[in-house]
Every structure is written in C-alpha cells, then in structure tokens.
C-alpha cells in the first residue's frame, strides 16, 4: 500500500467521523457505534478482497491512552467547581464508587461460578466491563444541559479514575490481605501529591510561556507525567483531572500568595485555545482508535450463540444494578441516567493491561466489543427517551 493511498484512507476516516458526529446529533445514535461498525465493515471488505492489514496491539494502546488523556482533559476543562455544585459532585462520586465495586464483584462472581476460575482473576477481568467510558459518555451528552449533563460527566470521569485504581488494587499479590489496603492507601496519597506538584508546574508553563507554540508542549509534559506515573503503578488519570480543573477554575485556586506566581486572568485567556486544541485532538484520536478496534474484531466469532448469551447476561446484570442504585438508593431520575453507562476506550485499555496469569480465554476482545455495542445501544435508547424529558432534572 503506497503512501498516498494511506493518506487518502486517513483523510476519509476523519471526514467520515465528522459526518458520523453530525448524524449522531440528529439521530442520537452514538458516533462511536458507527465507527466500530465501520471498522468491522472495513475488515470484511479487506478479507473479501484478500487485503492484509495487521494492526499491532501497541498501536491501539497508544491511541487509546492518548485519547483517554485528551477526553478526560476535555471534560475537566468544562467543569466549574463551586459550593453550589458540591452536592452534585458528591452524588456522582458515590454513584461511581458504589456501582463500580458492586458491578465488578457481581460480574466476577458470574465468571467465577460459570468458568470455575479463581476469584482474583475473575475480578481483574470484570473491572474493565464495569467502568463507564468517559470517552463515549462525555461527547454523547453534549445535547443535554444542566445537572443531567454534569452528573454524567462527573460520574464517567470518576468511574475512569476509580476503575484504574480498583484495577491496580485487584492486581496486587497480597490482594486478599489487609496489607493490600495499606499499600493502596500509600498509592492514593502519592498520586495526589504528584498531581498537585505536576499541576503547579504545568500551569506555571502555560502561564509564563509567551511563544506561539506552547499548548502541545504542555500536553506533551502531561502525557509524559501520566506515563511515568502509570509505570509506577499509580492512578495517573488523577493528574489529568486535577490539571484540567485547576486551569478551568484558576480564579478559585490561584488566590493569596499564589497570585504572585500565577495570573488567573492570563490563564482564562488561554483557556479557549486549550479547549479547542484538546477537543480537536480527542476527536482525531477517538476516530482512529474505534475504527482500528472495530477492524480487529472477527465477525464469525462475534455471532457465536454462547458469546451472545454471555454478553447479554453481563449487560443485563450491569443495568439491573444501576437501576437498583438510581431507583432505591440515590432516588433520582432514571431517564436518561439509567441507560448512559457505556463501555469503551477505558474497557479496552484495561483489558490489554491484564497480566498473562490473569487472562481468561472465555473473556476475549469479542466479549468486550459485544458489551460496548449493547451498552451503546442502551445509551442511544436513553438519549432518545430524554427528548421527552425536561432538560434540567431534579436531583
């Protein structure tokens, strides 16, 4: 395949993704689903015409990691922290914690009794299926307003971060022992301290650099810090969230003596361009990630009755737990919150991070794709139903 052919393909992929976004706004069909199905269609066409195109897993992982960073940063740059929003933040945080833990344990128990595999391995495989993907949820609720939109943005972002922390916790050798909690506590304290220091350094760079090219320099440092923290087995997504919140709420954080080092007014002026660059980068990377992931799926295996049964059972369990929490514990609206819990980019990334000794043959990429597809369809149903609901819900 020649260079110009590759460039034509990449250009068409970006144009197609943009058209999918337009269609998604009009029809409420998530653009991610259209990208995934397009990837499968391309795979079928490649097989039919006997065109070989291998997608190395590392390429998919790199796209996924950078995409996750950009999408969480994009969401954080839209969130304002005020005292009035404190109850909403608490509700979304506890919703993310409780549903993540309960759903992961329930799915792990299903896998444990179904496949007769040790519980730790089942839990490691279950956590990716329980994490809500902010990569899908945040762009999909752009048409909502008020607390409904903010709740979903906060919940999905917290779910990503807590999911990575819970995943790292489940991978510990002393997982079932009390010492694992102490180790986990040290990791949380360490990542919070690192988040504060790195955010101060990045905000200082953003505030003081006067050169025309500086935003991608700051983003490069952010990716560097994220990757280093990840290699240290820390929940590095917190770094991204804290940085985004600090920039978007500079007037609240940069007070007193800090104003000698940071200028909230200048940061506010830079915010618009940073948002634009982040959104454009997230769109581009999301496009290639989901196309490549769809391309990696084998359609014949996807149509297996046993696979379909497993996927439906998992999604049914996840939805039932979410319904119970929203209806009887949170006592909040069900439309569209019940249906907006998509799986996606973070699910795939965590699955690729499972060590060899914890891999379960029956839990494959095809299961991931089926769960992503089914939860995406449920999200589409919820968004369609929300058209008849008031824009601002009562919480």
Position 178 scores a pLDDT of: 61
Q: Which domain holds residue 148?
A: 3-388
pLDDT, residue 11, reads 94
Give the CA angle between residues 312, 373, 116 to the nearest 5°: 40
pLDDT in the model for residue 206: 81
Any domain includes 331: yes
**Could you tell me if residue 116 is inside a domain?**
yes
3-class DSSP state of 50 = coil
Residue 94, CA atoms < 13 Å, CB-side half-sphere: 9
Q: What gap in Å lies between CA 217 and CA 277, rounded to an integer?
A: 12
For 81, the 3-state DSSP assignment is coil
**pLDDT given for residue 176 in this prediction:** 64
Q: State residue 60's pLDDT score.
A: 83
Q: What pTM value is reported for the model? A: 0.84
Separation between Cα atoms, residue 158 and residue 91, nearest integer Å: 11
Longest dimension (CA), the chain: 66
How does 318-347 read in b/e, with b if 16+ C-beta sit within 10 Å? bbebbeebbeeebebbbbbbbbbbbbbbbb
Is omega for the bond preceding 100 within 30 degrees of 0, making it cis? no
Residue 238 lies in a domain: yes
Q: Where are the alpha helices (DSSP H) in 28-145?
A: 31-48, 57-76, 86-115, 119-130, 134-140
Does residue 394 belong to any structural domain of this protein? no
Residue 64 domain-assigned (yes or no): yes
**Residue located via tokens 């996807």:** 302
Residue 193 lies inside a defined structural domain of this protein: yes
Two structure tokens written together for 184: 């986990």
Q: What is the residue whose two structure tokens read 């996924």?
A: 64
DSSP string, 308-356: HHHHHHHHHHHHHHHHHIIIIIS----TTTTT-----HHHHHHHHTS-G
Q: Please tell me the predicted confidence (pLDDT) of residue 260.
A: 67
Residue 395 maps to a domain: no
pLDDT in tens, the chain (395 residues): 678 888 998 899 999 999 998 888 888 788 888 998 999 899 888 888 887 777 777 888 888 888 888 878 887 887 777 788 888 888 999 999 999 999 999 999 988 888 888 999 999 999 999 999 887 887 778 777 778 888 888 898 889 888 888 888 888 876 666 666 777 778 778 888 988 888 888 888 887 777 777 888 889 999 999 898 888 777 787 888 888 888 888 777 766 666 666 666 777 777 888 888 988 988 898 899 889 888 888 777 777 788 888 889 999 999 999 999 999 988 888 888 899 999 988 888 888 888 888 888 777 778 888 899 899 899 988 888 876 544 433 32
Give DSSP secondary structure letters for 215-256.
HHHHHHHHHHHHHHHHHTT--THHHHHHHHHHHHTHHHHS-G
Which single residue is written with the structure tokens 């830079």?
270
Q: Is residue 393 part of a domain?
A: no
Domain CATH for 352: 1.20.1530.20
Tell me which DSSP letter residue 80 carries: P
Q: Please tell me the distance from the alpha carbon of residue 28 to that of residue 384, in angstroms, as a whole number.
A: 6
At residue 1, the pLDDT reads: 64
- For 147-171, the DSSP string reads HHHHHHHHHHHHHHHHHHHHHHHHT
Q: How many distinct structural domains can be found in the chain?
A: 1
Q: What is the pLDDT of residue 17?
A: 93
Give me the pLDDT at residue 256, please. 65
Other C-beta atoms closer than 10 Å to the C-beta of 287 total 25
Distance in angstroms (rounded) separating the CA atoms of residues 219 and 349: 20
């Amino acid at each position: 395949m020649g260079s110009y052919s590759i460039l034509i393909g990449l250009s068409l992929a970006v144009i197609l993704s943009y058209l999918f976004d337009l269609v998604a706004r009009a029809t409420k069909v998530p653009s991610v689903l259209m990208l995934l199905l397009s990837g499968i269609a391309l795979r079928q066409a490649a097989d039919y015409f006997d065109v070989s195109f291998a997608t190395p897993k590392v390429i998919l992982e790199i796209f996924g990691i950078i995409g996750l960073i950009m999408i969480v940063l994009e969401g954080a740059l839209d969130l304002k922290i005020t005292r009035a929003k404190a109850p909403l933040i608490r509700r979304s945080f506890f919703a993310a914690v409780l549903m993540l833990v309960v759903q992961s344990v329930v799915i792990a128990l299903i896998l444990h009794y179904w496949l007769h595999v040790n519980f730790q391995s089942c839990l490691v495989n279950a956590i990716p299926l329980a994490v809500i993907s902010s990569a899908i949820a945040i762009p999909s609720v752009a048409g909502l307003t008020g607390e409904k939109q903010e709740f979903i943005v906060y919940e999905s972002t917290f779910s990503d971060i807590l999911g990575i922390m819970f995943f790292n916790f489940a991978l510990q050798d002393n997982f079932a022992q009390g010492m694992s909690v102490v180790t986990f506590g040290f990791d949380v304290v360490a990542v919070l301290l690192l988040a504060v220091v790195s955010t101060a350094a990045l905000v200082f760079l953003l505030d003081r650099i006067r050169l025309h090219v500086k935003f991608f320099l700051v983003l490069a440092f952010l990716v560097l810090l994220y990757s280093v923290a990840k290699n240290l087995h820390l929940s590095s997504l917190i770094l991204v969230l804290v940085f985004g919140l600090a920039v978007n709420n500079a007037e609240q954080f940069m007070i007193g003596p800090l104003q000698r080092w940071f200028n909230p007014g200048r940061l506010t002026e830079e915010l618009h361009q940073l948002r634009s660059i982040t959104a454009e980068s997230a769109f581009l990377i999301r496009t290639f990630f989901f196309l490549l992931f769809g391309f990696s799926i084998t359609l014949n295996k996807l149509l297996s009755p046993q696979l379909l049964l497993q996927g439906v059972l998992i999604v049914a369990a996840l939805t039932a737990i979410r319904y119970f929490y929203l209806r009887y514990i949170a006592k909040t609206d069900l439309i569209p919150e019940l249906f907006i819990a998509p799986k996606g980019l973070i699910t795939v990334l965590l699955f690729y991070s499972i060590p060899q000794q914890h891999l379960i043959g029956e839990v494959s990429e095809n299961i991931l794709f089926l769960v992503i597809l089914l939860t995406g369809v449920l999200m589409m149903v919820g968004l369609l139903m929300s058209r008849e609901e008031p824009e601002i819900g009562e919480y």
